[in-house]
Amino acid sequence: MALKGFMKRLTASVQELDAARLSDRYCGLGLTPIAEVPLRRPVRVAGELQRSRVVPRAGSPSLQILIKDGTGEIYAVFTGRRRIGGLDAGRGVVLEGVAREEGSRRVILNPAYTLLGRG
């Protein structure tokens, strides 16, 4: 059986390996997996910050971050912010808020957040 798991890792894509790593890290925390986030209900999710950027939103700057947990991805938008200390690529973060859909993506607007250690 160990050989079978080893062979699977040898043939897996980088994306599959990364999803497995993130899933192992974040899915055991007792939080909602990102793939199962309900809309318009309070939720707590955790994941690794993949990227961030500042975008104009309603006439003011907003910090937009993308986190992934191995099951999916979700955006967090912090209105009126250009930067939040500690929110850097590779950082683990827990987000608390209400998710909604904007286009084809899930978004949490102005979530409460807790920084976790790096992977």
Query: What is the reported pTM?
Result: 0.79
User: Taking a C-beta distance cutoff of 8 angstroms, is the pair 44, 34 a contact?
Assistant: no
Judged against a pLDDT cut of 50, whether residue 76 lies above it is answered with yes
In whole angstroms, what is the distance from residue 92 CA to residue 12 CA?
24
10-14, 71-75, 93-97: the lowest-pLDDT one: 10-14
**Over the stretch 31-55, which tens digit does the pLDDT of each residue have?**
899 999 999 999 999 999 999 999 9
pLDDT tens, 86-114? 888 889 999 999 999 999 999 999 999 99
